[in-house]
A and B are shown apart, each in its own frame.
Chain A
Amino acid sequence: MATIYIDNKPYDADPSRNLLDVCLSLGFRLPYFCWHPALGSVGACRQCAVKQFKDEQDTQGKLVMACMTPAAEGTRISIDDPDAVEFRRNIIQGLMMNHPHDCPVCDEGGECHLQDMTVMTGHDYRRYRFDKRTFRNQYLGPFVNHEMNRCIQCYRCVRFYRDYAGGRDLDCFALRDIVYFGRREDGVLESEFSGNLVEVCPTGVFTDATLKQHYTRKWDLEFAPSICAHCSLGCNTSPGARYGTLRRIVNRYHSEINGYFLCDRGRYGYEFVNSPLRIRDVTWQGGVIDGAAGVERLSTLLAAGKVIGIGSPRASLEANFLLREAVGAANFFAGMADDELRLVRRILEIMQSGMASVPSLRDIELSDAVFVVGEDVSNTAPRMALSLRQSVRQQPIRSIEKLRIPVWNDNAVRDAVQSAKGPFYIASPYPTRLDGIATEVCRAAPDDIARLAFEVAEASDENSPAGRIAAALRNAQRPLVVSGTGLNNAAIVEAAARAAQALGAALSYVLPEVNSAGLAMMGGGTLAEAMEAVRGGAAETVIVLENDLYRRAPAEAVDALFRSARHVVALDHLTNGTTARADLVLPAATFAESAGTFVNNEGRAQRFFQVFIPHGEIQESRRWLRDAMLAAGRIEAEALDRLDGVIGALGRALPRFARVHEAAPPAAFRLVGKKVPREPHRYSGRTAMLANITVSEPKPPEDPDSALAFSMEGYSGQPPPPLIPFFWAPGWNSIQSLNRFQEEIAGPLRGGESGVRLLVPNGAGQQQAGVPPAFQPRNGERLLVPVYHVFGSEELSREAPAVASLAPGPYLALSPEDAKALGEDTAEVSIGGKTHRLPVLVISGLPEGVAGVPAGIPPFTGLSLPAWGKFSRMP
């Protein structure tokens, strides 16, 4: 700790940080634009000027940029010095010279950092008499809207997009006062992190294009702390709703997981909640009935006995648990494909064994040598790919330590490092978007990837590829092995664990879905067993919870299951194959309309809360089940009314969930006797929004499940992190207000990070699957591996229009050699007893004997991939 003097008062400061960072951590209001906690300083905007003095005697001092000056011992600065104040005001005045008169129609308005800083510096009148410079905008795709006139040339966008996220198609063009930030020509932004521009850009140049379609100001949104439902990482989000529809999602900072950024699937996948496919009515054999009748029907079925329940990896722990309670543990089946379930269970075992430490995304970012074993991280767990991109900078940054450049001095560090990258190895059957940062890429069939990883675990010869990987990881300070369920290969999972253990590396697995870990921890039989129970007559009614079984097993098997079951009950959000076959369909609340817990790929339980009250008969799945249990005379269900009751019962029934309640404060939690408001204190229209229906305002809805209130009234200070619905502080209306919620910049939120890790290493590690035999190509057949798509492979975000517009249609990926041998644009392939004719997509680098099909995209849903596909005309 160093002592620095700000306006003659001494403060403790961390000398490895810059003055701006320190001043903001200390709570000073120092305006800035170009500095970003995750991107560092470049000194481009000159907004953070302060006056620095040599010593106590120095009265003249000089203006310096706080973001470019280290907080060295004895530094004396003044923020309030009249010269500094004047300078900062002039900078804003310059920025505003060409700024359009757009605030009323600008989507940034009300959460605009430029507005905040303008008010903070006191600039209020444009004296410039000449014309304003104007630009033409570009079409940048369905996610991001472009309004270039509002740019203040802070360069944050390109620094994020290019330097941090590795994108290439956004850049700055032209020169002097006409620099332009955009693409070479109109077109969809290529990076799957483009949505972060909305938050990174301090002005309204880049705004959320999906929000624009139902535009609402930040102050009018109703928020709740939430967890992204579109992959297994569990990024923290802050969804906002208005008038009973979900309007947008922004990042909710978590220092160990998503930090400052989300991926576009997480940001834009929300639109499925408003989809026309939403189920809003209870139906019985196709006819609409009311909610009470639905409960009645379900309770009759429950009371009749012979009921099984099929859970879901995209439903909360609580919903799955209630289903398990309703049907009995022996009749509860995990709703995952059988091989996937086995794989996830094995991964949990490995994580619990202590063979290797389980890193958070933050740890992944700080890793300095990485081996990715058969997982297309950019498409299956996108935010992790962004962390991995930072990991290749760790070794080069360490190697320039002797230059004594502070790490926050971004341009200097990048200049010194040039294009040097740390060791990064990828083994994958097809090219991935991380290949560009890789030291070496190995293209191989799944079994060969497993063999490579086993070899890495044993390797001693530094000249073989395996040896090079082993050496790089062994020589690193924080080595990391990444793998996952993507290729659905038990040997890969095993081999990755072996390699991590042998090399002392951390080990991170990507899991298939948001609550795969939670569901696998809960137990339950396989789908095959469920089908057997129905076929054998042991069960007559099947309750399917938030799950489309046609994505879990082949259509014939699911059809057979539904045919032999006397009654099928489906609780779900969207119409799908399963709800179409169900006798009783109960509309289930989505993540945004319910509260519950998801367990992410690190085994971290995280709570999400209800954002808004939906229209129609929609209820949380656990409430439908609980109501039906009660109606069936099961009085134990009385204790399962509130979320806390369910979580308590869950912990008692399954001790491995005993700590789930620690993920967030209980519903009874109060701050000075008050709940935490979901709405900003300037939420408008509460006496008018429902006045068209009835002029007497209804009482605000109660929330029995959380310490959050559906109101603008309540505790006005900072709630504990799991209960922060949105970031706002006086004078800081934009997302930059986050600075006020952190213990120190880019550190944990005040009050400690949320979430609780459920897996405690127990040291019971033992290897299972052995080294598989080498892959043998077959004649006339190809091994079809699943090719993942960040937009399209995930079930729910597929129904979000913006995401869907970027999802590919079905195709058959062939290597250039195979495509040439075939000589046609379409190919016929037989797989799982069905023949499909599909357009051919040439992917160079596919290993011999391997082809690909898009994962999660019809008609390739419900198939166990990889699988052999037969071609009629293929050598």
Chain B
Amino acid sequence: MLSVLRTIWEVFLHAFRKRVTIQFPEEKPRLPPRYRGRIILSRDPDGGERCVACYLCAVACPVDCIALQATEDSTGRRYPEFFRINFSRCIFCGFCEEACPTYAIQLIPDFYMSEYKRQNLVYEKEDLLISGPGKYEGYNYWKVAGVKIGGKDKGEAEREAPPVDLQSLLP
């Protein structure tokens, strides 16, 4: 009996607390940057497409809602020919972001993606690719990878020695 009365009292007190509910959409919520909402593809600090089409996000996705196809430019830089996320399936778990070795795919605090037609929730690369590095500034995968691409020869990546001279006779 006593506990019931105490509960009623506490519920009553809550009526005077500050509200957490906000009047969305007139009022926008402030969400932390690591909130897991809409997914974007970012660019590296030099403005290049970050995604290297490694398929890791796709394989990590528990609902298999990411599909892409890798291709390469003439210099050997790999990127996705198409990149599709079916947001009507996405559960915003963030596994793709965790799997991504290049920081390309990121979940951002934008969650308002309601559509009348489910088909409109299918996003292609044009819809996903933003013009900046997103949450992670500074990182450029190609600067650490060993493969040669346009503008970066062998031995020019971070912590790389110049290519071995096979003709040298020095011991």
Select A105's contact among B69, B147, B161, beta carbons within 8 Å.
B147
In the complex the two chains form, is B146's CB within 8 Å of A688's CB?
A: no
Q: Is A701 an interface residue (CB 8 A)?
A: no
In the complex the two chains form, is A686's CB within 8 Å of B64's CB?
A: yes
Chain A residues touching B, majority SS: loop
Cα of A689 to Cα of B82 in the assembled complex, Å = 10
A175–chain B nearest beta-carbon distance, Å? 8
Select B124's contact among A176, A243, A692, beta carbons within 8 Å.
A692
Cα of A135 to Cα of B84 in the assembled complex, Å = 36
Number of interface residues of B (CB under 8 A): 48
Contacts of A114-133 to chain B: CB distance below 8 A: 130-133
Select B65's contact among A212, A214, A688, beta carbons within 8 Å.
A688
Cα of A691 to Cα of B83 in the assembled complex, Å = 11
Count chain A CB atoms within 10 A of each CB in B122, B147, B162 and give the residue with the most: B147
In the complex the two chains form, is B145's CB within 8 Å of A135's CB?
A: no
Q: Which of B3-11, B16-24, B25-33, B53-61 contacts A (4 or more CB under 8 A)?
A: B53-61
Q: Is A134 an interface residue (CB 8 A)?
A: yes
Contacts of A687-743 to chain B: CB distance below 8 A: 687-689, 691-692, 694-696
Select B58's contact among A135, A137, A173, A685, beta carbons within 8 Å.
A685
Name B143's closest neighbour in chain A (CB-CB): A101
Q: Which of B40-48, B85-93, B106-114, B129-137 contacts A (4 or more CB under 8 A)?
A: B85-93
CB-CB < 8 A to A694: which residues of B?
A: 119
Number of interface residues of A (CB under 8 A): 46
In the complex the two chains form, is A103's CB within 8 Å of B89's CB?
A: no
With contacts A687-B86, A692-B84 known, is A132 near B146, CB below 8 A? yes
In the complex the two chains form, is A135's CB within 8 Å of B163's CB?
A: yes
Select B67's contact among A135, A149, A178, A685, beta carbons within 8 Å.
A685
Cα of A109 to Cα of B78 in the assembled complex, Å = 14
In the complex the two chains form, is A134's CB within 8 Å of B160's CB?
A: yes
Name A682's closest neighbour in chain B (CB-CB): B59
In the complex the two chains form, is A684's CB within 8 Å of B118's CB?
A: no
Q: Is A136 an interface residue (CB 8 A)?
A: yes
With contacts A135-B163, A149-B146, A695-B86 known, is A684 near B70, CB below 8 A? no
Q: Is A11 an interface residue (CB 8 A)?
A: no
CB-CB < 8 A to A134: which residues of B?
A: 146, 154-155, 160-164
Q: Is B128 an interface residue (CB 8 A)?
A: no
CB-CB < 8 A to B61: which residues of A?
A: 684
Q: Is A875 an interface residue (CB 8 A)?
A: no
Name B68's closest neighbour in chain A (CB-CB): A685
In the complex the two chains form, is B146's CB within 8 Å of A100's CB?
A: yes
Cα of A843 to Cα of B3 in the assembled complex, Å = 105
A733–chain B nearest beta-carbon distance, Å? 11
Count chain A CB atoms within 10 A of each CB in B54, B146, B155 and give the residue with the most: B146
Select A135's contact among B56, B119, B164, beta carbons within 8 Å.
B164
Name B124's closest neighbour in chain A (CB-CB): A692
In the complex the two chains form, is B67's CB within 8 Å of A100's CB?
A: no
In the complex the two chains form, is A688's CB within 8 Å of B159's CB?
A: no
With contacts A131-B160, A243-B69 known, is A219 near B89, CB below 8 A? no
Q: Is A180 an interface residue (CB 8 A)?
A: yes
Q: Is A215 an interface residue (CB 8 A)?
A: yes
Count chain A CB atoms within 10 A of each CB in B59, B63, B119 and give the residue with the most: B59
Select A103's contact among B68, B101, B118, B155, beta carbons within 8 Å.
B101
With contacts A133-B161, A134-B160, A684-B67 known, is A105 near B84, CB below 8 A? no
Cα of A686 to Cα of B147 in the assembled complex, Å = 31
CB-CB < 8 A to B148: which residues of A?
A: 137
Cα of A173 to Cα of B168 in the assembled complex, Å = 11
Name A150's closest neighbour in chain B (CB-CB): B146
In the complex the two chains form, is A684's CB within 8 Å of B66's CB?
A: yes
In the complex the two chains form, is B119's CB within 8 Å of A688's CB?
A: no
Count chain B CB atoms within 10 A of each CB in A100, A109, A131, A691 and give the residue with the most: A691
Name A685's closest neighbour in chain B (CB-CB): B67
Q: Is A673 an interface residue (CB 8 A)?
A: no
Q: Is A817 an interface residue (CB 8 A)?
A: no
Q: Is A764 an interface residue (CB 8 A)?
A: no
Cα of A686 to Cα of B88 in the assembled complex, Å = 13
Count chain A CB atoms within 10 A of each CB in B55, B68, B72, B118 and give the residue with the most: B55
Q: Mark A204-231, 1 if CB is under 8 A from B, else 0.
A: 0000000010111101100000000000
In the complex the two chains form, is B154's CB within 8 Å of A220's CB?
A: no
With contacts A102-B145, A173-B166, A688-B65 known, is A219 near B85, CB below 8 A? no
Q: Is A174 an interface residue (CB 8 A)?
A: yes
Cα of A685 to Cα of B85 in the assembled complex, Å = 9
In the complex the two chains form, is A684's CB within 8 Å of B59's CB?
A: yes
Contacts of A168-205 to chain B: CB distance below 8 A: 173-176, 178, 180
CB-CB < 8 A to B144: which residues of A?
A: 101
In the complex the two chains form, is A688's CB within 8 Å of B84's CB?
A: yes
Select A688's contact among B52, B89, B154, beta carbons within 8 Å.
B89
Q: Mark A559-584, 1 if CB is under 8 A from B, else 0.
A: 00000000000000000000000000
Considering the complex of A and B, which 8 residue pairs feature the smallest CB-CB distances, nearest first?
A: A100-B146, A685-B67, A104-B54, A688-B67, A684-B58, A131-B161, A691-B86, A689-B67
| Selected A-B contacts with CB under 8 Å, 27 pairs | A100-B146, A104-B52, A105-B52, A105-B54, A130-B159, A132-B146, A132-B161, A134-B163, A134-B164, A135-B164, A136-B164, A149-B154, A180-B166, A215-B71, A219-B59, A243-B69, A682-B59, A684-B55, A685-B58, A685-B64, A686-B64, A688-B66, A689-B84, A691-B67, A692-B122, A694-B119, A695-B122
Residues of A at the B interface (CB closer than 8 Å) are 100-105, 109-110, 130-137, 147, 149-150, 173-176, 178, 180, 212, 214-217, 219-220, 243, 682-689, 691-692, 694-696
